[in-house]
Amino acid sequence: MIRLSEEVADALARGLPVVALESTIISHGLPQPRNLEVAAELEEIVRRGGAVPATIAVLDGVARIGLDQAGLERIATQPGLRKLGQRDLPVAAALSACGATTVSATAFLAARAGIRVFATGGLGGVHRGFTVDQDESADLDTLSRTRITIVCAGVKSILDVPATLQRLETRGVSVVGYRTGEFPGFYVHTSGIPIDWRVDSPAEAAAIMKAQDALGGAESALVVANPVPPADQLDPELHDRVLAEALAEADRRRITGQAITPFLLDFLVKGTGGASLEANLTAVRGNAAIAAQIASYWSKEN
Ligand code: PSU
Ligand code: MN
């Protein structure tokens, strides 16, 4: 049910650095045709950082760890491709379905394959309005019981960021800022919320991973929160204004569940004239680069 590409299998067997990449950001998070270019570009960034990229998706019921060009094209262009969280994986496997994997499904599959480092844009989390609709991304649950290091630009700013940080704390997920003492704001440099820990190098991140393993206990994740540089961020005022419009529109149209994240991301792209897309891409690129460095350091040490 899980198939590794030859390159990824070989790299893992030889203890070479590997970085997992998710596919939902390609299929549901970014507009076509840019998304296919980005899929290729992220893999290239990981390679330049000295690691092997493993983009993960489910094709014809098989969880694929490491996609070839044809696989990348399918996740970027196939109409009606599903968005798969961890709970969807057995169903997709049994019914030979195709789908892109979210952070929860990707982290689960990566860990099963023996990949320790994962790069994405922003984590899912607690949605605004949680007290009414109980929408908390399965990403948080998976990270609370999966031994993986995930490099992200925080959580998507469409979410309730303080509540998400609180949930990460409650569920025992370690969170460190990468060269920052504030939790990043995904499209913007900072969410304004301080975090307790920061690391300043891949070596420090790898040391935490080593300590996680040495201490044992629950197999929880390490979140390495890496902000977009201030020069590349979305203008915070524009961000706040368009986000308020997006949330109001989602409310009006009663968009909920799996559809809400893609809807809001898309609304932001249109409402900011593409500026949110550029900030999103800068975030993901930076995360892929840092993930490659951490994976490289990790493989040297282990
Ligand atoms: N980050 C992005 N774009 C995305 C996502 C994250 O920059 O599209 C995706 C991830 O796959 C994440 C998912 O796991 O959104 C969360 O969706 P939900 O809130 O439905 O769990
Ligand atoms: Mn959700």
Q: Summarize pLDDT for 6-51 with one digit per residue, the tens.
A: 999 999 999 999 999 999 999 999 999 999 999 999 999 999 999 9
Q: Is 83 annotated as a binding residue?
A: yes
Q: Is the domain of 148 the same as that of 219?
A: yes
Question: From ligand 1's centre to the CA of 14, what distance in Å?
Answer: 31
Using the predicted structure, report yes or no on whether residue 197 has a pLDDT greater than 90: yes
Using the predicted structure, report yes or no on whether residue 199 has a pLDDT greater than 90: yes
Handedness of CA 169, 108, 206, 20 (dihedral sign): negative
Q: Is the domain of 144 the same as that of 39?
A: no
106 ligand 1 Cβ < 6 A: no
Name the residue at shortest CA distance from atom 18 of ligand 1: 137
The last residue of one of the domains, among 52, 85, 115, is: 115
Q: What is the mean pLDDT of residues 168-195?
A: 97
The last residue of one of the domains, among 88, 115, 142, is: 115
Q: Which residues are catalytic?
A: 22, 156
Q: What is the dihedral of CA 100, 140, 31, 58, to 10 degrees?
A: 0
88 ligand 1 Cβ < 6 A: no
The last residue of one of the domains, among 115, 143, 166, is: 115
What is the count of structural domains for the chain? Answer: 2
Question: From ligand 1's centre to the CA of 298, what distance in Å?
Answer: 26
Q: What is the mean pLDDT of residues 119-125?
A: 97
Assigned domain for 302 exists: yes
Q: Is the domain of 145 the same as that of 291?
A: yes
Q: Report the predicted TM-score, pTM, of the whole model to 2 decimal places.
A: 0.96
Q: Is the domain of 39 the same as that of 162?
A: no
125 ligand 1 Cβ < 6 A: no
Expressed as residue numbers, the domain containing 174 is 129-302
139 ligand 1 Cβ < 6 A: yes
Q: Is the domain of 161 the same as that of 267?
A: yes
Ligand 1 mutation target, pool 89, 134, 261, most atoms within 8 A of CB = 261
120 ligand 1 Cβ < 6 A: yes
Q: Is 199 annotated as a binding residue?
A: no
Q: What is the mean pLDDT of residues 116-125?
A: 97
Assigned domain for 276 exists: yes
Starting from the CA of residue 159, give the closest ligand: 1
Going by pLDDT thresholds of 50, 70 and 90, the confidence category of residue 282 is: very high
Q: Is the domain of 52 the same as that of 80?
A: yes
Q: Is the domain of 243 the same as that of 265?
A: yes
Name the residue at shortest CA distance from atom 16 of ligand 1: 124
Q: Is 266 annotated as a binding residue?
A: no
Assigned domain for 292 exists: yes
Handedness of CA 275, 281, 284, 289 (dihedral sign): negative
Q: Is 139 annotated as a binding residue?
A: yes
Question: From ligand 2's centre to the CA of 268, what distance in Å?
Answer: 18
Distance CA 290, CA 250 (A): 34
285 ligand 1 Cβ < 6 A: no
Assigned domain for 89 exists: yes
CATH classification at residue 283:
3.40.1790.10
